Amino acid sequence: MRATVMFGAGDVRIENVPDARLIEPTDALVAVSRAAICGSDLWPYKTMEHSETGHRMGHEFIGVVEAVGADVRTVKVSDLVVAPFLYSDGTCVFCREGLHTSCLHGGRYGWDGVDGGQGEAVRVPQADGTLVVLPVGTDDALMPSLLTLSDVMGTGHHAAIAANVGPGKTVAVVGDGAVGLCGVIAARRPGAVQIIILGRHSDRIALAREFGATDVVSERGEEAVVRVRELTDGFGVHSVLECVGLEQSMHTALSIARPGGAVGRVGVPQDESMPASQLAFYNNVTVSGGPAPVRAYIEEFLPDVLEGRIEPGCVFDRVVRLDGVPDGYRAMNEREAIKVLIEF
Ligand SMILES: [Zn+2]
């Protein structure tokens, strides 16, 4: 079968790889019908050292179940399923607490002999705990929005939960990538009154406004902090969704949280230490967040997508076939595209 393999920074290729197949009795074999390129795929795209064998890529996909292991009970052949970006058993102590990212039997696609999602098929471990059946056909118009449930919509929602977003709250979203944009949806959903998007790309800002952003701050650094304070009676916001992960974005996030506020971070931190820790301390700012347990959120968001209340699939502004994936990486890396959808 054919699949996406990264051999080093800027070097993504479509290669012939061994066919995906069942190994464990808890596996499902899924033929991929839609997949996506993730903002987090761009970190190795910028920095990965050359590798002779390469690394299988992709962790966001929808597909049709082609075979199941003897112990699989909740999905069956020909079901259309969405996969969260990690697999998990759904039964261990952490999964039962809704923290599937810490599953005792979980793991990542593209590692430990598990296929990546940007390929023709995937062996999905822990199928019962991982996969969610979708009650639509493979060519349904909702497919882009359903695909966001595998990562970006759930990740934006996780940032909102970690930042204590709720009715009447003021919110700032740091980062105008797909996760930040979904964070706007996630902030509006429970009734935030003011949603400030920090970003500078006109296409992304326009989409943020469609999703419910009330204000735009395009300045950076200290100027952005001043601007957010101006928009919030000088105090800053109750809730900040940090969707970037860089030192400057985290510094900005902590600087625009009002005293007693909270920062929910879902941008993978690129530094070991956290900036502005004294500021956060003296302002009693809660810092929370981490990798989003999106599996815990899929069922909650399914009705919203199926009944058209939210349309997170609008973050996809480019569609490619498998052969177009290397150029899709380039386009996302150069900010030509917000997010790339792969059709099989
Ligand atoms: Zn678990």
Q: pLDDT tens for residues 9-65?
A: 999 999 999 999 999 999 999 999 999 999 999 999 999 999 999 999 999 999 999
How far is Cα 320 from Cα 155, in angstroms, rounded to an integer?
23
Could you tell me the distance, in angstroms and rounded to a whole number, from the CA of residue 59 to the centre of ligand 1?
18
Tokens of 211: 């999703």
pLDDT at 276: 87
Q: With b meaning 16 or more CB within 10 Å and e meaning fewer, what string describes 31-43? A: bbbbbbbbbbbee
pLDDT, tens digit, 9 for 90 and up, residues 205-227: 999 999 999 999 999 999 999 99
Rounded CA separation 263/33 (Å): 36
Instruction: Specify whether the CB–CB gap between 109 and 118 falls below 8 A.
Output: no
Q: Which residues contact 170 (CB under 8 A, 6 or more apart)?
A: 192, 193, 194, 196, 232, 237, 238, 239, 258
Q: Report pLDDT for 273.
A: 86
Q: Among the listed ranges 185-189, 201-205, 269-273, which one has the minimum average pLDDT value?
A: 269-273
Distance CA 219, CA 233 (A): 18
Type of residue found at 180: G
91: Cα separation from own chain's centroid: 23
Measured in Å, residue 106 CA sits from the centre of ligand 1 at: 6
Q: Could you report the per-residue pLDDT of 255-312, keeping only the tens digit for each?
A: 999 999 999 999 888 888 888 889 999 999 999 999 999 999 999 999 999 999 999 9
What's the Cα-to-Cα distance from 205 to each of 29, 283, 315, rounded to whole Å?
39, 29, 11
Which H/E stretch holds residue 341?
Answer: strand 340-343
Ligand 1 centroid distance, CA of 339 (Å) = 29
Q: Which of 194, 235, 234 is nearest to 216 (CA)?
A: 194
Measured in Å, residue 120 CA sits from the centre of ligand 1 at 27
User: How far is ligand 1, taken at its centre, from the CA of residue 304, in Å?
Assistant: 26
Q: What is the pLDDT of residues 239-252, one digit of tens each?
A: 999 999 999 999 99
Look over the chain and give the mean of its residue pLDDT values, rounded to a whole number: 96
Tell me the C-alpha distance between 81 and 65, whole Å.
Answer: 7
Distance (angstroms) between ligand 1 centre and the Cα of 199 equals 36
- Distance in Å, CA 97 to ligand 1 centroid: 9
Of the pLDDT bands very low, low, confident and very high (cuts 50, 70, 90), residue 100 is: very high
| Phi and psi, residue 108, nearest 5° | -115, 145
Could you give the CA distance from residue 273 to residue 312 in angstroms, rounded to a whole number? 32
- Which ranges of 176-294 does DSSP label H, i.e. alpha helix? 178-188, 202-211, 221-231, 247-256, 277-282
Please give the distance, rounded to the nearest whole angstrom, from the Cα atom of residue 133 to the centre of ligand 1.
19
**What pLDDT score does 277 carry?**
87
